[in-house]
């Protein structure tokens, strides 16, 4: 096998036609069939780029000029967009974003799963593609001029300062601006990851029903400087805040919250509603950050489940029980399984909070528990799966197929791992009938899917 010559050289400028976007929103093009990634370029464009990274199988270019612009190119509304890593595709119209995401789902379903494109339905876009996030978690850093809050620059841990985020609900932006002003007035230092010096490490805020807000101040130190003043000034300047916590995260790594947390003032939980149910949300709780689109996703999942009131349903990755409890409203019985014990405790509380008594929850590995349930005589009519980005373990897929439900409803935050799992399930007797993309996170490259798989002999 002859070694291929790399047709591009470091620091040289090349004219490159762009055909697609990568998973981080970077343009994908070629020079003599050699792949070049160009951040900032869009499909359909012809650009000039200087090579800044050259490897054996690909190169990365810095965008120099756009020779032929895409009609879908737009000017980003956010002034920090080109430095901040919070969003990736705000230079693309929303219609263009939806087209890219739908095409991505079709691509992985054909390339990885071996399915035909017609299984993929048109993507369901968001009615409000801005100011949709009800949860904010921002790193705090210290620079020469004082503390700053923002998002990390893409591919780094350098904080890009912002005074507001266009994808956050405005209540969270008010918290952001308050914290920066408070820390500046009282000379409280942000955290430096390299020296491990400084006080405030992250600020987290969550918006619940009626615009009520929970604030969590995360410090690297055991003591929160000016604790009484934090509470006093938040009450005075942010009347929408109803709950304040102090969390200590002294360890290394990317985890935002540490194990030590203290309730400083107000309510201990927020109430957040979703699909006609109410959930108590604590600092550690999982809750969907885009409520409107989560309801779109759940409505489609319920439609695929096809419940009439007499079914038994297993929710194999139930988390804090949001999908389980939606299913329980229309099923005879729901069994939720989740390996994270704290999530199961939240699920049980949420069931009680909503007066739902036909849902039971188990802290266990679904791949191990489902065969045990089968041996005990459980025969679910429907199995719902909503795994993490890595997808389902093969043990869970095999256990689900062995229980022979008529339908499997698979909710995925990673179309590539779903395509892989759908191919495995096809070999286990389940045909993928429909794949519905849902845009849960506008302005980013993330796309979710909810899919219906049916047992082939039914």
Give the β-pairing of 135-143 and 200-207: antiparallel
Burial category of 179 from C-beta neighbours within 10 Å (exposed 0-12, middle 13-18, buried 19 and up): buried
Q: Are 161 and 150 in contact (CB under 8 A)?
A: yes
| Active-site amino acid positions | 413
What is d(CA 427, CA 38) in angstroms, rounded to the nearest whole number? 38
What DSSP string runs through 199-266?
SEEEEEEEE-GGG-EEEEEEESSSS-TTHHHHHHHHHHH-TTEEEEEEEE--SSSS-SS-SEEEEEEE
Instruction: Give the Å distances, CA to CA, from 35 to 43, 203, 224, 368, 445.
Output: 14, 40, 50, 43, 20
CB crowding 211-249: b at 16 or more within 10 Å, else e: ebbbbbbbbbeeebbbbeebbebbeeebeebbbbbbbbb
What's 168's DSSP letter?
B
d(CA 18, CA 306): 42
DSSP annotation of 124 reads B
Exposed, middle or buried by CB within 10 Å (0-12, 13-18, 19+), for 118?
Answer: exposed
End-to-end CA distance of the chain: 49
3-state secondary structure of 312: strand
Q: Residue 17: enclosing H or E segment and its boundaries?
A: strand 13-21
Helices and strands in the chain, H and E counts:
9, 21
């Amino acid at each position: 096998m002859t070694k291929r010559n790399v047709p591009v050289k470091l620091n040289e400028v090349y004219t490159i036609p762009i055909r697609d976007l990568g998973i981080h929103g970077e343009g994908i093009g070629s020079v003599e069939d050699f792949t070049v990634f160009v951040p900032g370029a869009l499909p359909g464009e012809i650009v000039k780029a200087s090579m800044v990274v050259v490897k054996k199988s690909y190169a990365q270019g810095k965008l120099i000029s756009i020779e032929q612009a895409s009609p879908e190119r737009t000017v980003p509304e956010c002034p920090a967009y080109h430095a901040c890593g919070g969003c990736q595709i705000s230079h693309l119209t929303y219609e263009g974003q939806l087209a890219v995401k739908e095409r991505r789902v079709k691509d992985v379903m054909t390339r990885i799963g071996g399915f035909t494109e017609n299984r993929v339905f048109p993507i369901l876009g968001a009615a409000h593609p801005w100011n949709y996030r009800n949860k904010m978690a921002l790193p705090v850093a210290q620079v020469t001029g004082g503390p700053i809050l923002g998002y990390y620059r893409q591919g780094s841990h350098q904080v890009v300062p912002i005074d507001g985020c266009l994808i956050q609900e405005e209540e969270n932006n008010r918290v952001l601006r308050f914290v920066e002003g408070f820390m500046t007035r009282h000379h409280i230092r942000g955290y430096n990851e390299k020296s491990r010096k400084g006080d405030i490490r992250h600020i987290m805020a969550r918006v619940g029903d009626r615009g009520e807000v929970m604030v969590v101040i995360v410090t690297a130190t055991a003591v929160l400087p000016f604790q009484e003043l934090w509470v006093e000034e938040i009450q005075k300047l942010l009347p929408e805040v109803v709950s304040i916590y102090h969390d200590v995260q002294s360890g290394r790594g990317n985890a935002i919250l540490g194990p030590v947390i203290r309730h400083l003032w107000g309510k201990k939980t927020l109430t957040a509603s979703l699909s006609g149910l109410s959930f108590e949300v604590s600092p550690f709780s999982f809750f969907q950050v885009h409520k409107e689109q989560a309801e779109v996703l759940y409505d489609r999942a319920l439609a695929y489940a096809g419940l009439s009131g007499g079914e038994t349903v297993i929710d194999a990755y139930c988390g804090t029980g949001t999908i389980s409890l939606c299913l329980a409203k229309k099923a005879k019985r729901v069994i939720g399984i989740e390996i994270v014990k704290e999530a199961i405790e939240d699920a049980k509380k949420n069931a009680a909070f909503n007066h739902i008594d036909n849902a039971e929850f188990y802290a266990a590995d679904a791949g191990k528990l489902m065969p045990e349930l089968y041996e005990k005589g459980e025969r679910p009519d429907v199995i719902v799966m909503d795994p993490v980005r890595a997808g389902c373990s093969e043990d869970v897929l095999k256990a689900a197929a062995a229980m022979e439900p008529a339908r499997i409803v698979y909710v995925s935050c990673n179309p590539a791992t779903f395509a892989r799992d759908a191919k495995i399930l096809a070999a286990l007797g389940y045909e993928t009938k429909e794949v519905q993309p849902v845009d849960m996170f506008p302005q980013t490259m993330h796309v979710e899917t909810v899919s219906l798989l049916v047992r082939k002999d039914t």
